[in-house]
Every structure is written in C-alpha cells, then in structure tokens.
Amino acid sequence: MMDAWGGAPVKTELSALEEVNSSGPQEKNFENRKELVDLLKHAVKTTRFYSSFDSGSFFSFPVITKATIKESYDNFVSDAFERDSLYEMTTSGSTGTPFTCLHDYGKKKSTYAEVLYYNGMIGYDIGRRIIYLRSVVEECSKTPLQQFMQNIYLVDCHDLSDAGIESLLDRIRELSTRNGAMLMGYASTLDAFRDYFRRKGVAKAEGVKLYGVASGSEMLFDDTREAIQQAFGCRCVSRYSNEENGFLAQDLFHNNEFVINKAHFIYEVLSMNSDEPAAEGEVGRIVITDLRNYSMPMIRYDTGDVGRLVDLSTDKGECYSAIVDFGGRRVDVIYDCYGNRISPHSVTNLMWRYTDVNQYQLVQKDESSYLLKLNVPDAFSRDQELIADLMKVLGGESRLMIERVADIPVLASRKRRYIVNECGMHRDDRSAEAQ
C-alpha cells in the first residue's frame, strides 16, 4: 500500500525483474540496450569522472575498482542529486577493503524489489518472517519496533561455539514456531551449524520451522548445503550479492550455478591480466555495470570476483545466463583467546566504522596472539580505537599488535584473505583459500 502511494516503484521494478530475467540469456550486443545508453549519457553529463568519455562507446569507458572510486570519490557522484538525499551503503570489508557508495531513491527501491524477487524463489512473500543471522553492529542494527514492523529479526551470530549455536537454535525455534520463517546467513555461519549437527545430530534442530535458507558472502560448500537442508527440511540456496550493487545472481537449478540478474546489471568477464574479454570458456574477472544507480554510476565495475559467464538450458529447454566456476570468498576459522569459535564477520562488521582503511588482514598467530595488518593513509590515527574494538571480539586477555603495510597481496584467485589462521587450532582446512 505504501509503495502504491509512492507511485509503485517497487512493484514496477519487481515486474521488470520477473519479465527480463525470464526472457533468455544476456543479449550479445548489450551495448545498444536503451537502459545502458541512458545511463552512459547521464554519467557523462553529470559526473566529473566520466565527463570526458564518449557516451556512445561503452567499451571506451575504463574498468574501475573500489580503489578507483575511493581515490576520486566526489568525482563519481552525480550533480543531478542533492547529496543529503542519497543513501550511504557501506560494505563491511569482507574482501579486506571497507567501502561506502551512494544510492539514490530509485536504486534503493530496485534493491527492495530484488529482495522480494529472490527471496520469493524460496517461499517468501510480503509479510512473512525473515530471520537474519549476522554479526550485529550499530550501523546495520534495527530497533525492536523496526524488526516488528518489517517482520525481519536480526540475530547476532558472533558466538559459534556449541553453546552459542544451541542458543541460536533456541532463538530461531522461538521466532519460527508459529508461522515459519526464512533464514538468511553467512556461509561460514552455516559451516559452523554443519559441524555442530555432525557432532550432535540433526535432532537438535527439532521444532525449528523454516521454509527456506539463503546463504551469502562466501562459498557455500555442497556438504554444508546438504546438512542444512536435512536439519531444517527446506531448500537452501546460495546467493551472489554485495552491499554496493545488490543482488547479482542466485543458484536456481544447480548448486553454485549462479543465474544472473540481467534486469538490473550488464555482465562482462574479462581476462585476468588485461581488460580484454576472456577467451570463450576461460575463467576471468567478473565486471558489472549497474543500470539502476544514477547517483554514483558504477560502469564496468570490477567486483573482485572471478568466474565464467555461460549460456545454459533447463531440462525444459529454457535458456538463461549463469556464472559458473565462481571463485567465491572462503575464510579461515578463527577463535577468541578463550578457545571459542567466532564468526569472521564479527571482525568485518566491526570495520563498518573504519572506511578510511584501504586494506586489512587479521592473522591469528597462536591461541591468544593476533596481528592486524593495515594499509591506511599516513594520516590514520585510530589505532588504539581499533585495537579496543577488536579486543571486544577476541577477548580481553588477547594480545594484539598492528603492523602498517603498503599492500596486502592477493592470491592467484584474485582474492585477498582478510582472516588468516596460522596457529592450526581446530582449523578446517577446506575453508582456507586455495593457493
């Protein structure tokens, strides 16, 4: 009703998602698509960064990264909008690089439509309950009234010890008993549930009534998916999304075969070593153009992820485009100084308030010693504040040192490990980045 009063922007976007995403694979000559043509004209006309480029030649636009935007931030902001009217979207640094981008009203509503569209694929409808397992910080928290009004409940998953998981199960059971709920969480959190069910048995999930589970942020292992589906008796899907752009893809037909959101984005896969298209069948860098963000145009944005873009067919002969061989993030398991397994997102979400950090990496050296590597501007002076925040996560008896570095190298997969466990303590080797 509120959407209808406001001109139905969410309903309009939802209709576009349903129509465009079901219309076959991404077109080969996408540079002639009207939405892209309009975006390029807008970017050239209203931003300083793009003002010198030819709006009629998509491939003349440069490939950009988070670093490109951070180095020339104001030049990316469109002068067609009042700055105070825009919404800040801050990534928590789950690739080791905290980042804030701006969304206009239209982009924000298109993201709402994506929530309805992708959650709807696993049973969600407006008004049904969602339980969101995450490391809750002030920047992403909701008041009790907001949670009640939206029927979205944030449950802090900082503690992933057996006792912590049992507490989480009790809370999920409490929230889902009456009318069921959808569960959203990090893949690493679901890994911890998988390990717990292996030790304790899936009977520990009795009384939990879920109609779907959606995983994101890192790679979802097949055995984790199977364990979650067995324990909760519902479908579990993996989602490819980020804070700066929204819902990029979701696996629908086969595990980790991510069907793209071509209604809202243009997808390219470029060579690992140049900005030329990757050879057919070759894994390359995933580069997207956001067709909905006019306040901070993100044209040919290198997501930092790798994969192959292929056209596939369902058993019914329906064609679609999907990202396969996706190099999703994997993270090490780390523990606080008392030996309790903790969510790596307790660290990344803490970084919401440190957007002036260029890169970081937290290394667990032994049971209670940690090293934080920081790539920061010379003027950065918040070391002690950052140490105090991290000590709350790692435990009051932990020993934490900071090392300033010029760069934190990426692996062959182009991933930068932001959490590293060097002490081997209860380590699950499968969660380490493949070298």
What pLDDT, on the 0 to 100 scale, is given for residue 40? Answer: 98
**Full-model pTM:** 0.80
Question: What pLDDT does residue 95 have?
Answer: 60
pLDDT over 90 at 340, yes or no: no
| Secondary element (H or E) of residue 40 | helix 34-46
**pLDDT per residue over 205-220, tens digit each?**
999 999 999 998 778 8
DSSP letters, 322-375, are EEES--------EE-TTS-EE-THHHHHHGGG-TT--EEEEEE-SSSEEEEEEE
Mean pLDDT of 176-188: 91
> Which percentage of the chain shows pLDDT scores above 70?
91
- Strand, coil or helix: 133: strand
Query: Distance (Å, rounded) from C-alpha 58 to C-alpha 3?
Result: 34
Residue 273 corresponds to which tokens in the numbers above? 């070593």
How much is the pLDDT for 209?
A: 96
Q: Which residues of 169-195 are buried (b: 16+ CB within 10 A; e: fewer)?
A: bebbeebbeeebbbbbbbbbbbbbbbb
Judge contact between 41 and 293, C-beta under 8 A: no
34 burial (CB, 10 Å; 0-12 / 13-18 / 19+) is: exposed
Q: Is 433 a residue whose pLDDT tops 70?
A: no
Task: State residue 351's pLDDT score.
Answer: 81
Question: Does residue 393 register a pLDDT over 50?
Answer: yes
| Main-chain dihedrals φ then ψ at residue 349, nearest 5 degrees | -70, -25
**Contact indicator for 361, 331 with CB cutoff of 8 Å:** no
pLDDT band at 329 (very low <50, low <70, confident <90, very high): low
Name the most confidently modeled range: 94-108, 237-251, 288-302, 378-392.
288-302
- Please tell me whether residue 283 adopts helix, strand or coil conformation: coil
**Average pLDDT over every residue of 117-135:** 90
* Residue 253 reports pLDDT greater than 70: yes
Q: What pLDDT shows up at residue 141?
A: 57
Interstrand relation of 284-290 and 265-270 (parallel, antiparallel or unpaired): antiparallel
Of the pLDDT bands very low, low, confident and very high (cuts 50, 70, 90), residue 412 is low
Short-list 66, 122, 98, CA closest to 303: 66
Q: What is the pLDDT of residue 430?
A: 38
Query: For 389, which DSSP code?
Result: H
Does 355 or 215 have the greater pLDDT score? 215
In this model, does residue 280 exceed pLDDT 80?
yes
Instruction: Report the alpha-carbon distance of residue 8 to residue 121 in Å, rounded.
Output: 21
Q: What is the mean pLDDT of the chain?
A: 88
DSSP state of 63: P
What mean pLDDT is predicted for residues 112-119? 94
Distances (CA, A) of 50 to 62, 241, 267, 304, 400: 9, 25, 20, 21, 43
Outline where 154-301 has alpha helix (H).
162-176, 187-200, 222-232
CA atoms lying within 13 Å on the CB side of residue 12: 11
- pLDDT beyond 60 at 14: yes
Confidence of residue 91 (pLDDT cuts 50, 70, 90): confident
CA distance 80 to 327: 37
Collapsed DSSP state (helix, strand, coil) of residue 128: coil
- The torsion defined by the Cα of 97, 100, 105 and 109, in degrees rounded to 10, comes to 30
**Res 101: pLDDT:** 93
- What does the pLDDT average to over 154-182? 93
Measured distance CA(285)–CA(308) in Å, rounded: 8
Judge whether 348 and 243 are in contact, CB under 8 Å. no
CA distance 72 to 42: 18
